[in-house]
Structure 1
């Protein structure tokens, strides 16, 4: 039984909160994480498990995506989709925080969280494609390629970030070398990468009452996200190359190869 007050739970969670990734988008740091903390404290006091919170997150998110795909566009729909997606996003932040309050997460919970995230990333942009085809007066059907391309870019970006973490973790476990962040975060950088933030993407659905305005903003965010992915991919590839170099220079047990590829089957477990 939880004996502390709700505010005490919020304060305890804030003190135990893991630090945001260097240069994380501003919405995630300033809005979503604090909102997730409030939800996490409530969920903890209600006795919900992290997986239950993930299920709540998925429910809000996929209801919003379904409404976007099947209903005619309007200001009311836009506000509803934004709220459903935003609440789902806050709950997505809350599940990990609930796990910390309960003493730690699980591999199964992490797997579930990532699978739900990957599904929402794909289906959200496909829902935009369906809605644009059914409701938007675009001057050329070629514009429908924007949500198709956004689906690809968002999927690759999510996978690349997950893969970066996994390869670095495998490298650290194999060679006993902890890979430190290459840069520290700053408010300036957080604002610069704001166009890549899922929270901002949720917010622009408010403009569904003016479909062309929405689609212009959506296209600009796609361009910014694609540009970020292109630039980040160069850096990430160099980071992985530096891990290869570090592995070669690290003394390995006789009969092994320090430069062996680290992305074997063990890296996914």
Structure 2
């Protein structure tokens, strides 16, 4: 049954709206720890607030883009200090929470659209690539690092872009395969994701990357941490590509 649009009951309290948003939450299957336990619940609160303010999902997406874009711009232009790191991390984390809020709001209000999905994916694709280029600029401008270390953010950008595109493409091919079989495009799942899996894929969670920038002002900690996250993401990508390829081979043309 499709969720009842929130506009049917404009006098709902914040708690009531949050409760209904929770009922419309997409499955946590495969979700990494930060997204599962922090970002989506926080996004639910922001989605409820956005509804009560009369905002549309696209307006929430634009707000997310502005916050994330500001954080990325500051990362590239300001000297890495403790204050800069906390500010950048805060902007990126809040932007990511709003990124979770727009989809939740769209699903529950029934106001989702192709244009809205397109806008959301374009914003995500842009920040996925550009954030690591901002790290590259920061490394080059402000830190006295061996030249080879500049390859780390370049590699991270490549890994992140391939990861993002592969996720989106795999999702689209699954939808096409299910449509050809007459099955639901996104079959519902109430089964919770295994906790161990959410922890194992945590290094690949964009939210963890956002939080890591709080250590930007301590290069002796941030640079090794950022490098480890890049390596972990590369390993997770390789494992995911193998799994997705095997899955795609099960689909008929």
TM-score, normalization by structure 2? 0.92
Q: State the 1:23 CA deviation.
A: 2.6
Query: Displacement of 1:53 after TM fit?
Result: 0.2
Indicate the residue corresponding to 1:219 in structure 2: 227
Name the residue aligned to 2:246. 238
Alpha carbons 1:65, 1:127 under 8 Å: kept: yes
2:24 matched to 1:16? yes
Q: Distance in 2 between matches of 1:46 and 1:101?
A: 15
Report what 2:12 is aligned to: 4
- Cα distance in 1 between the residues matched to 2:12 and 2:192: 35
Determine if contact 1:125/1:148 at 8 Å carries over to the other structure: yes
Q: Does 1:210 align with 2:208?
A: no
Question: Residue 208 of structure 2: which of 200, 205, 222 is its match?
Answer: 200
Residue in 2 aligned with 1:141? 147
Partner of 2:165: 159
Q: Where does residue 191 of structure 1 map in the other structure?
A: 199
- Cross-structure match for 1:264: none
Cα distance in 1 for partners of 2:192, 2:250 equals 19
Contact kept? 1:196, 1:225, Cα under 8 Å = yes
Which ranges in structure 1 are unaligned for 5 or more consecutive residues? 248-258, 260-269
The correspondence of residues 1-269 of structure 1 with structure 2, limited to 5 A, is: 2-20=10-28, 22-138=29-145, 140-177=146-183, 185-243=193-251, 247=252, 259=253
Superposed CA RMSD: 1.7
- The CA distance in 2 between the partners of 1:239 and 1:76, in whole Å, is 45
Structure 2 unmatched ranges of 5 or more: 1-6
| Contact preservation (8 Å) 2:132, 2:156 | yes
CA contact (8 A) 1:23 1:187 kept: no
* Residue number in structure 1 paired with 2:4: none
For the 8 Å contact 2:27–2:192, the answer to whether it is kept is: no
Taking the aligned partners of 2:91 and 2:16, their CA distance within structure 1 comes to 28
How many residues were matched structurally?
242
